[in-house]
């Protein structure tokens, strides 16, 4: 009886391993979300303010710690330490839902503000989180939106004082 050799893990096993890695409590993650079709929704100051108010809502993050974030014209990036009570998927889903409701309807397409899914990168335990936060806060400069990081109004970090 000839059986095929099983050289690789099944796709279900690989998916399960990836999801387990994606939600390790106590580990730092970099998250990146794009608006639907990568539209520059947050060029509108009212839309940006609405999302910033949602980001500042403490109960949204529950026991996770949001360390730094930046809202760009077509997306949002953050550095956070995942808590015990939520998976990344749940946390991002809650953020997307609340921020979508906060932004005026003309910025949504059929009710959608954010694109599908998100990108995440678990940082090593040895990573210097302050350096990662600084890199986030320099993104508006890298995209040539402003000359200096402090000139961009839509950001926050636990290590650096907010401008103004």
Residue 37 maps to a domain: yes
Please write the tens of the pLDDT for every residue from 50-99: 999 999 998 999 999 999 999 999 999 999 999 999 999 999 999 999 99
Residue 10 in any domain: the answer is no
* Inside any domain, residue 2: no
Instruction: Determine the structural domain holding residue 80 and report its residue range.
Output: 24-157
Q: Which residues pair with 118 in a beta bridge?
A: none
Q: What is the mean pLDDT of residues 135-152?
A: 93
Quote the crossing angle between the two packed helices 88-102 and 11-22, to the nearest 10°.
Answer: 70
* The pLDDT of residue 164: 45
Residue 70 lies in a domain: yes
- Number of separate domains in the chain: 1
Domain membership of residue 58 (yes or no) is yes
pLDDT band at 22 (very low <50, low <70, confident <90, very high): low
Residue 6, in any domain of the structure = no
Q: Quote the pLDDT of residue 8.
A: 61
Instruction: Look at residue 164 and tell me if it is in a domain.
Output: no
The tens digit of pLDDT for each residue in 124-134 reads 989 999 999 99
CATH for 104: 3.30.70.1290
Tell whether 104 is covered by a domain.
yes
Integer angstrom CA distances of residue 35 from 15, 76, 109, 117: 25, 8, 10, 10
Write out 70-94 in H/E/C secondary structure: EEECCEEEEEEECCCCCCHHHHHHH
* Burial class of residue 61 in the structure, from the number of CB atoms within 10 Å of its CB (0-12 exposed, 13-18 middle, 19+ buried): buried
Mean pLDDT to the nearest integer, 13-20? 64
């Amino acid at each position: 009886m000839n059986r095929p050799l099983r050289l690789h893990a099944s796709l279900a096993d690989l998916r399960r391993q990836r999801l387990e890695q994606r939600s390790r409590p106590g580990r730092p993650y970099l998250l990146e979300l794009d608006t639907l079709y990568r539209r520059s929704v947050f060029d509108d100051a009212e839309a940006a303010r609405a999302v910033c108010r949602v980001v500042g809502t403490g109960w949204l993050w529950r026991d996770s710690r949001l360390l730094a974030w930046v809202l760009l014209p077509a997306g949002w990036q953050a550095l956070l330490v995942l808590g015990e009570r939520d998976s990344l998927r749940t946390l991002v889903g809650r953020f997307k839902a609340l921020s979508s409701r906060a932004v005026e309807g003309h910025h949504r397409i059929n009710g959608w503000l954010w694109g599908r899914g998100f990108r995440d990168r678990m940082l090593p335990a040895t990573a210097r989180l302050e350096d990662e936060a600084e890199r986030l806060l320099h993104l508006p400069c890298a995209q040539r939106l402003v000359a200096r990081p402090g000139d961009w109004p839509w950001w926050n970090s636990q290590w650096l004082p907010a401008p103004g």
